[in-house]
């Protein structure tokens, strides 16, 4: 009930404040385990992605937020999972796997952090590992315009259009993958997300990031 009310409010505000649009929502399976793997450029991204489809989407958020009075009550009712940032929280990964094995939708930003210069950061292999452990379908998601609407460390800019594009599903069978296979699947997911985005968001080829 709380999630559905929040969904309608978020949709209304996104459309009024940012001219929010959605494309390809039909690419997201209506039932069964699915991973929504999206680029991450703004704090608005989880709201934009979750508002794009009718079925509830489980996200992760840093554990500090769960210690705040109102959020400690609200976040669990929005199906948010706490995660210890920078620790490779095994508990959060197990929780994500449990969510998918329950047949739910799970939203993740495989880069692990926001691209502070408006560029997609390289994806980490966690999303591929979770998909392989659960056999969940991966749907690439492109979030466009959120960086212009609310860039990292700056003020919010209203009426900057935000669009979310859901790409074609990537089927993944439940299996055990070695490091090379995980890298290959990660690259496939990353390429599928980038293909949904305008060139200005594409990764900086001069930016070397370590994938973990």
What are the boundaries of each domain within the chain? 2-196
Residue 210 has pLDDT above 60, yes or no: no
Q: Are strands 57-62 and 137-144 parallel, antiparallel or unpaired?
A: unpaired
3-state helix, strand, coil in the chain (%, to 5): 40, 15, 45
Predicted confidence (pLDDT) per residue in 98-120, tens digit: 999 999 999 999 998 898 889 99
Say whether pLDDT at 211 is over 90: no
Q: How far apart are CA 210 and CA 133, in angstroms?
A: 23
Fold of the domain spanning 2-196: Glycerol-3-phosphate (1)-acyltransferase (3.40.1130)
Dihedral, 121, 125, 128, 129 alpha carbons, nearest 10: -150
Q: Which residue has the tokens 């929504």?
A: 36
Quote the longest CA-to-CA distance of the chain.
46
Cα separation, 175 vs 129, in Å, equals 9
Contacts of 131 (CB under 8 A, 6+ apart): 35, 138, 172, 185
- pLDDT per residue over 51-93, tens digit each? 999 999 999 888 898 999 999 999 999 999 988 766 555 777 8
Q: What is the average pLDDT score of the chain?
A: 92
- Nearest Cα residue to 101 out of 29, 176, 34: 34
pLDDT over 70 percentage in the chain: 94
pTM value surpassing 0.85: yes
């Amino acid at each position: 009930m709380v999630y559905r009310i929040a969904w309608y409010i978020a949709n209304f505000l996104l459309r009024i404040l940012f001219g929010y649009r959605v494309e390809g929502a039909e690419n997201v399976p209506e039932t069964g385990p699915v991973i929504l793997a999206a680029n991450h450029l703004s704090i608005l991204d989880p709201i934009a992605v979750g508002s794009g489809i009718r079925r509830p989407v489980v996200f992760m958020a840093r554990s500090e937020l769960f210690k705040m009075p109102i959020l400690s009550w609200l976040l669990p009712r929005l199906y948010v999972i706490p995660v210890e940032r920078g620790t490779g929280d095994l508990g959060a990964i197990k929780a994500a796997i449990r969510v998918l094995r329950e047949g739910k939708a799970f939203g993740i930003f495989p880069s692990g952090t926001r691209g502070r210069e408006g560029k997609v950061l390289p994806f980490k292999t966690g999303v591929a590992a979770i998909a392989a452990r659960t056999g969940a379908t991966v749907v690439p998601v492109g979030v466009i315009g959120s960086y212009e609407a609310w860039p990292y460390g700056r003020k919010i800019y209203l009426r900057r259009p935000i669009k979310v594009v859901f790409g074609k599903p990537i089927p993944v069978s439940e299996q055990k993958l070695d490091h090379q296979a995980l890298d290959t699947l990660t690259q496939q997911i990353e390429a599928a997300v980038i293909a949904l985005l305008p060139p200005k968001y594409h990764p900086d080829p001069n930016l070397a990031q370590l994938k973990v």
